[in-house]
């Protein structure tokens, strides 16, 4: 039996996932968390075989939660779930230690397959993502400007592109406006851009926001 922890702040999504997994013979949901810290604490105190982690948690960004989980239990497979398109967070999640990445709109059978695969110690990426990666390799892979950013800098870029004000970004990221300004300055420097408008244009052109 594969024991699964679901970490998602939407009760309806947790309930739907639990019903789907509990109806599958070899899967069982043995824990539910609605914040990143709750998930980390539950992992510290209990044994799970796979974690389903939403990338948009209310208290911490999912990538930061993933880092904490990997520091705590390096061998525990974490499957990232998101409403964001794969090209936005999939590679970044995998680099941080995720065992796989799935869009929440994926078919239920795909989710079950992904859980079984990561529970067996393998990585899971969708066929669409595999195709994107293969295409990048065949064209001679070169790192895009946004892939040089830290997770916080990347999050700042995406929020800027969504039209969020400095105060709104600070609230979403639970940081001071001054710290956000530093991240904004760093990302412009790393990406060799001069203005916020250039950064926003880049994010939209590269489909970094929905």
User: What integer is the mean pLDDT of 90-116?
Assistant: 87
10 against 144, higher pLDDT: 10
Residue 46 covered by a domain: yes
Give the model's pLDDT for residue 66: 93
Chosen domain end from 113, 136, 159: 136
Does residue 131 sit in the same domain as residue 28? yes
Q: Quick: pLDDT tens for 70-85.
A: 999 999 999 999 876 6
DSSP assignment, residue 54?
Answer: E
Place of tokens 């990426």: 125
Does residue 171 sit in the same domain as residue 121? no
State the average pLDDT for the chain.
87
CATH of the domain at 169: 1.10.10.10
Burial state string for 21-36 with b = 16 or more CB within 10 A and e = fewer than 16? beebeebebebbbbbb
Global confidence as pTM: 0.69
Structural domain boundaries enclosing 188: 145-205
Q: Assess contact for 27 and 21: CB atoms under 8 A.
A: yes
User: What integer is the mean pLDDT of 41-63?
Assistant: 91
Q: β-strands 100-103, 78-82: how paired?
A: parallel
Residue 210 covered by a domain: no
Radius of gyration of the chain (CA): 18
DSSP per position, 64-116: HHHHHHHHH-TTS-EEEEESS-HHHHHHHHHHHT-SEEEETTS-HHHHHHHHH
Give the model's pLDDT for residue 14: 92
Identify which of 156, 159, 145 has the alpha carbon closest to the alpha carbon of residue 191.
145
What's the domain count of the chain? Answer: 2
Does residue 62 sit in the same domain as residue 12? yes
Distances (CA, A) of 81 to 6, 53, 134: 10, 6, 22
* Phi-psi region at 48: left, alpha or beta (left = phi > 0; alpha = psi -120 to 50): beta
Does residue 112 sit in the same domain as residue 193? no
Does residue 39 sit in the same domain as residue 88? yes
Does residue 112 sit in the same domain as residue 29? yes
Q: Quick: pLDDT tens for 136-178.
A: 555 544 457 787 788 889 889 989 988 999 999 999 888 999 9
Angle at 20 between CA 210 and CA 52, to 5 degrees: 55
């Amino acid at each position: 039996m594969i024991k699964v922890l679901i970490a998602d702040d939407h009760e309806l999504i947790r309930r739907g996932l639990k019903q789907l997994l509990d109806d599958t013979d070899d899967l069982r949901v043995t824990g539910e968390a609605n914040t990143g810290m709750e998930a980390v604490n539950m992992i510290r105190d209990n044994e799970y075989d796979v974690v389903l982690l939403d990338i948009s948690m209310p208290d911490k960004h999912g990538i930061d939660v993933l880092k904490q989980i990997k520091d705590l239990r390096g061998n525990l497979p974490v499957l990232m779930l998101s409403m964001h398109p794969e090209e936005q967070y999939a590679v970044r999640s995998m680099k941080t230690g995720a065992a796989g990445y799935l869009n929440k709109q994926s078919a239920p059978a795909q989710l079950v397959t992904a859980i079984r695969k990561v529970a067996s110690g393998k990585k899971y990426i969708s066929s669409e993502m595999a195709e994107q990666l293969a295409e990048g390799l065949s064209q001679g892979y070169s790192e895009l400007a946004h892939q040089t950013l830290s997770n916080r800098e990347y999050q700042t870029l995406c929020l800027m592109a969504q039209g969020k004000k400095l105060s709104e970004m600070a609230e979403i990221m639970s940081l001071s406006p001054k710290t956000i300004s530093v991240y904004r300055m760093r990302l412009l420097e790393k990406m060799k851009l001069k203005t916020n408008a250039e950064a926003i244009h880049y994010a939209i052109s590269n489909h970094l926001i929905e």
